[in-house]
Amino acid sequence: MRIAVLGGGSWGTALAIHAARLHPDVVLWMRNPEVAEQYARERRNARYLPDLQFPDGLRVSADPAVIDERDLVLVAVPSGAFRETLRWVAPRLGDQAVVAWATKGLETTTGAWLHEIAAEELGPAQPPALVSGPSFAAEVAREQPTALTAASTDPARTECLQRALHGRSMRIYRNTDVLGVELGGALKNVLAVATGIADGAGFGANARAALITRGLAEIQRLGAAVGARPTTLTGLSGLGDLVLTCTDDHSRNRRLGLQLGQGVDLDTARARIGQSVEGVETARVAVARAAQAGVEMPICAEVHAVLYQGRPVHEAVRRLLERDPTAEDL
């Protein structure tokens, strides 16, 4: 397959490295020509994955012409750049090209799901297709075992993603529930901030387990309201990604929460991480989506209050604990 991966961050680089181990014609594209030239010269991503050399077959380019005649264009940019990237890609696609994405989150300015953005920018000729699940970029690049979900309403597109990425250290499972896969991948970031806050404040393992479990319940409630399948939300892109990001310090969202729990202010915490932290913006959208759907998401609401209303961490926990008793299966 002829593959282009768009996005020179850690995730895009890792996916391009993995794909280049499976296919002889893979291009990692990025917007900045100087950075692309550096990557090509040094044969590595010195900022995010400095100890990993690129496979011999991986090309790096900032030339828009690399999009031409690609079988698969895989978008791996932060959610804030997703619409702009699709708008740039659309007029450059060949007739047979498949566009898919490995981006997680929602559009923060409009609250739109990524598949809604794709429909607006690419039109009906490109049905939604994405890959998501529990995956840290460095582990993918180092060929540590990983399992992901490829989701699309078009079976040919999930098969395309499987052909592109399934192999060596990675398994790719098919799913037709695009909304459920997107929902799990977006909201787990907010809950990773919550568990990071709890651990940073020293609340212990009991609190972390409770937040993960009740956080999953919040995802499932919203999922039921918007039509996601329950099995998706207990699968790789739901529960799997939730557990990973809530428990491992490779997660930028968890690391941000750890700092907040230790009393660091939000701006300083974001600056220390130095990369996009999707859960910060997603918290705003999640609260708005929950209100629109008439769904209670108290953990997400308290994360939002800590991030945007200056609510002290211990006050947020007190408010969660003092909520009226309820049944677990509601």
Q: Which residues are catalytic?
A: 188
Query: How many other CB atoms are found less than 10 A from the CB of residue 272?
Result: 11
Q: % helix / strand / coil in the chain, to the nearest 5?
A: 55, 15, 30
What residue has token string 């007029």? Answer: 91
Cβ pair 164, 23 in contact under 8 A: yes
Start-to-end CA span in the chain (Å): 46
**Alpha-carbon distances of 96 from 67, 70, 85, 114, rounded to whole Å:** 12, 8, 19, 22
Cβ pair 209, 248 in contact under 8 A: no
Q: Find, among 216, 244, 242, 228, the residue nearest to 328 by Cα.
A: 216
DSSP alpha helix (H) spans, 97-147:
114-122, 137-141
Cβ pair 114, 101 in contact under 8 A: yes
Cβ pair 120, 92 in contact under 8 A: no
Q: How far apart are CA 289 and CA 221, in angstroms?
A: 12
Q: Find, among 200, 315, 288, 181, the residue nearest to 246 by Cα.
A: 200
For CA atoms 113, 129, 245, 214, give the dihedral sign.
positive
Cβ pair 3, 71 in contact under 8 A: yes
